[in-house]
Every structure is written in C-alpha cells, then in structure tokens.
C-alpha cells in the first residue's frame, strides 16, 4: 500500500498549478468559442492560489484534510467564475474523505477521486451529457473506481480513469449545453469541446502522472 503524505499532496497541488498555467491560453480559447474566454484565467488563479496556500502549511502538523480544506478556501476566494464553487466543493469533499487520517493510502485516493467528482455534480447539478466538466470527471472517477475494484494498482486505476475522462471530454464536442454560460448558444456549441471538461483532463493527467511512480 502506498503512503501518501501531506508533502505528496503539497507537491501534487504545485504540479496541477504548473500544468494549468501551461494550458491557460488553450483553455481561454476554448471558453472563447462557447463562453466568455476566462476559463484558463479562472483555473490558473484558483490553482495558483491553492498551491501557494497549501505550500505554506507545515507538513509536520498539517494533515491531508487541512491541505484539501486550505486549497478549497483559497480556490474559492481566488475565482469569481462558476468553476470556483464547483472546485471548492470538490476539494472540501476530498477533505472530508481524508478526515482523521495522518496520511492516505491507494484506496483513500480512489475514494477522494469519487468524492471530488460527486462534489462537482452535487454543487452544479449537471448530469452527464450536458456539456460540462462533469462529462470528464464523472466517467473518469467511475472508471478509476471500477479498475481499483478489479485489483488494479492506484497508478493503473488513475490511468484508466484518465482515458475515460479524455473520452468524456472529447464527447462534449457532440453535445448541446444545458447548464452554464454556453447553454445560451444552443446548437452553435456543437463541434466544440467544453473548456471545463478540457481542464478536468489536465487535472486528472496530473493525478495520473503524480502517482505513476508508485506503480
């Protein structure tokens, strides 16, 4: 069993912030087509603030719950767009799964993935097929859980989850949005990937990459 410490989680948030910063322009361009062109900025502000706040925690005294709750609060404070409360809720749910644990194991991480995705769904009330980030997060979390239940390692389970998330994000091209800003576009949104689903793939890729070394 893998032992995931506060330091691992601090490094994970830095990794996500760096990856999102690299993808900022692409995410803004995607949002420019079907939204208001700020998704890359929102995600960069959110994860930069989360990574900074989390990095300032003392690993010897901060448990994983404090890491996730600190990230949630910083993300919410930094982001005015609709992705703010969605990711803040997801991060709070991750914190709740970690409650009382001084470190996390592989199963905790898979649980956190599920709770994270469910948090986004509960907060935004979007279902699969409505052209939102849920179209990436929900199938990714479900596939990760299914792989783990069949005996896959954490790294393999995350890789399986990533593949499902990528397929889910790609599928948003053929969807008409019924939630969020792009729902005003109707059929004009057809043919374009949802920016929130695209950024979800960036975050899930970081998860896969971060835990790959555990095998």
Residues that bind ligand ADP (CB under 6 A): 31, 35-36, 38-39, 42, 81-83, 86, 120, 124-126, 132-134, 179-181, 194-197
Interacting stretch for Mg ion, rule CB under 5 A, among 25-33, 172-180, 197-205, 207-215?
25-33
Q: Per-residue contact track with Mg ion, 156 to 185, x per CB under 5 A?
A: ------------------------------
Give me the DSSP letters along the chain: ---B-HHHHHHHHHHHHHHHHHHHHHHHHHHHHHS-S-HHHHHHHHHHHHHHHHHTS-TTT--HHHHHHHHHHHHHHH--STHHHHHHHHHHHHHHHHTT-SSB-HHHHHHHHHHHHHHHHHHH-PPTTSSSTHHHHHHHHHHHHHHHHTT--HHHHHHHHHHHHHHHHHHGGG----SSGGGGGGGGGTTS--HHHHHHHHHHHHHHHHHHTT-
174 binds, among Mg ion, ligand ADP, none (CB under 5 to 8 A by kind): none
133 binds, among Mg ion, ligand ADP, none (CB under 5 to 8 A by kind): ligand ADP
User: Shortest Cβ distance from residue 83 to ligand ADP (Å)?
Assistant: 3
Interacting stretch for Mg ion, rule CB under 5 A, among 17-25, 32-40, 62-70, 106-114?
32-40
User: Shortest Cβ distance from residue 194 to ligand ADP (Å)?
Assistant: 4
Of 39 and 208, CB closest to Mg ion: 39
Distance between CA 128 and CA 140 in Å, rounded?
Answer: 12
36 binds Mg ion (CB under 5 A): yes
User: Shortest Cβ distance from residue 98 to ligand ADP (Å)?
Assistant: 23
Q: Name the residues that contact Mg ion, by CB under 5 A.
A: 31, 35-36, 38-39
């Amino acid at each position: 069993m893998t032992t995931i410490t506060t330091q691992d989680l601090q490094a994970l948030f830095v990794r996500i912030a760096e990856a999102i910063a690299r993808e900022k322009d692409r995410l803004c361009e995607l949002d420019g087509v079907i939204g208001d062109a700020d998704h890359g900025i929102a995600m960069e502000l959110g994860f930069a603030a989360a990574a900074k706040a989390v990095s300032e925690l003392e690993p010897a005294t901060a448990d994983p719950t404090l890491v996730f709750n600190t990230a949630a609060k910083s993300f919410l404070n930094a982001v005015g767009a609709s992705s703010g409360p969605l990711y803040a809720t997801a991060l709070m749910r991750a914190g709740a799964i970690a409650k009382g644990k001084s470190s996390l194991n592989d199963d905790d991480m898979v649980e956190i993935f599920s709770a994270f995705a469910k948090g986004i769904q509960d907060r935004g009330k979007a279902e699969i097929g409505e052209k939102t980030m849920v179209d990436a997060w929900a199938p990714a979390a479900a596939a990760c859980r299914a792989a783990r239940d069949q005996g896959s390692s954490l790294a393999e389970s995350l890789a399986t989850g990533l593949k499902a998330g990528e397929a889910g994000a790609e599928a948003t091209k053929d969807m008409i949005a019924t939630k969020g800003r792009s729902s005003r576009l109707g059929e004009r949104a057809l043919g374009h990937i949802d920016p929130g689903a695209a950024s979800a793939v960036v975050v899930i890729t970081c998860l896969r990459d971060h835990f790959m070394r555990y095998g």
